Amino acid sequence: MIRGSAVPRTGPLVTIDPDAYVHASAQIYGKVSLAAGVSVWPNAVIRAEMHEVVIGEGSNIQDFAMIHIGGATGTIVGRNCSITHRVTLHGCTLGDNVLVGIGATIMDGCVIGENSIIAGGSFLKENTVIPPNSVVAGVPAVLKASRDSGPANRFNAWLYTQNAEAYARGEHRSWDEADLDAAAARFGFTRRA
């Protein structure tokens, strides 16, 4: 894995676990903590000039995501979360096993319950509270369904941990369909119907 001291674009208050992966193009400044198994992908930006940003074990921050603190709140991401491409997290808290879809924005003071999905393109206005096991979508986002997405979300996060290990070895294609189906079964669900 790439260790914090080997990453050229970080500040002195950034704490990166030795088992985290940070792509060299990511930019991380302020009081930021990345736990074991975290992966931060190309061109992601994480900043915490006050308060702090904490990314929990096994979570992934995908390409072009932007994570910042709010005026009165830090940003906390639980364990095994997937913050997908072009997501903006701003001063919010996410429980464990949350998947935030492509291009979603979660604003200051929002709290997202564990095992939830925030659909791509959603906008969660300030201080929105989403209960555990929710699926939300829209602008502004509203509850669309209630279900435990924890197994699928943990599987997605696990895939990114595996991808990070492969990327650290210089391997950029490491999956085939049979591998993915077998791995999904270990997490308790079927990828394809």
* Higher per-residue confidence, 191 vs 181: 181
pLDDT average, residue stretch 37-55: 97
- Report the 10 Å Cβ neighbour count for 64: 17
* 3: pLDDT strictly greater than 50: no
- pLDDT in the model for residue 72: 96
* 4: pLDDT strictly greater than 80: no
Average pLDDT of the chain is 93
d(C-alpha 127, C-alpha 139), whole Å: 15
- pLDDT in the model for residue 8: 55
* Among the ranges given (11-25, 43-57, 125-139, 172-186), the one the predictor scored with the smallest mean pLDDT: 172-186
User: For 4, which DSSP code?
Assistant: G
Instruction: Copy the structure tokens of residue 175.
Output: 């999956």
* 184: pLDDT strictly greater than 50: yes
Q: pLDDT tens-digit profile of 74-93?
A: 999 999 999 999 999 999 99
Peptide bond into 42 cis (omega under 30): no
* Among the ranges given (3-17, 55-69, 109-123, 152-166), the one the predictor scored with the smallest mean pLDDT: 3-17
Closest CA to 106 of 127, 85, 84: 127
- pLDDT in the model for residue 6: 55
Q: pLDDT tier at 7 (50, 70, 90 boundaries)?
A: low
Q: pLDDT tier at 129 (50, 70, 90 boundaries)?
A: very high
Closest CA to 76 of 43, 110, 44: 110
* 114: pLDDT strictly greater than 50: yes
